[in-house]
Amino acid sequence: MAEHKDITYKIYKPYGMLSQFRSNDAKESRKKRFLGELYKFPKGIMPVGRLDEKSEGLLLLTTNGKWSDAINRSGIEKEYFAQLDGEISEEAIEKLKEGIEIGFSGKKYTTKPCFVKRVLHEPDFETPNTAIRLGRHRPNSWISITITEGKFRQVRKMTAAVGFPTLRLIRVRIADVHLEQMKPGEAALVKKSALLTIHSSTKENY
């Protein structure tokens, strides 16, 4: 059997960068930041899913296009740390866990049950981008939220729906691949052993 030569990287996508390598829009190409500035990635690599421009953290890149498409439909766990505007209540946490109604593509959508817990001590992340308005004169709080779906801006919409808008959002885990101690803009190869859960979920060999 031929050996697979596909390569997977993990990166810490910085705040203010698009989860893509280029744009067909000339104005966007001039004004936005793209993944290619972070590292000299191999030809044919592509992002697996995305993080919106104002979110940061773990993003996978792969040369396996078939796997990239499958992972977005596989229902694997994705964990985020969200810094919220206000001290989130236990009632709001329970609503997030059970599923909350949000807007998606002009329609109402109820999110699937998920895992949510309050983070009691401020996480040891890099200093936030100065463009993030944290409202230092107001109380805020952190939660860990693990979802198995990935609607556009889903976590932000969920926390806003329970009255606690997200100020800063960092993805820290996709299945068994962790952000660990990476800093914004860093890239690293992912060992195949860390991808086993993902490949099992997508039923793709690797």
Enzyme catalytic residues: 52
The C-alpha atoms of residue 35 and residue 11 are separated, in whole angstroms, by: 9
For the residues of 56-123, what is the DSSP string, one character each?
EEEEEEES-HHHHHHHTTS---EEEEEEEES---HHHHHHHHH--EEEETTEEEEPPP-EEEEE-S--
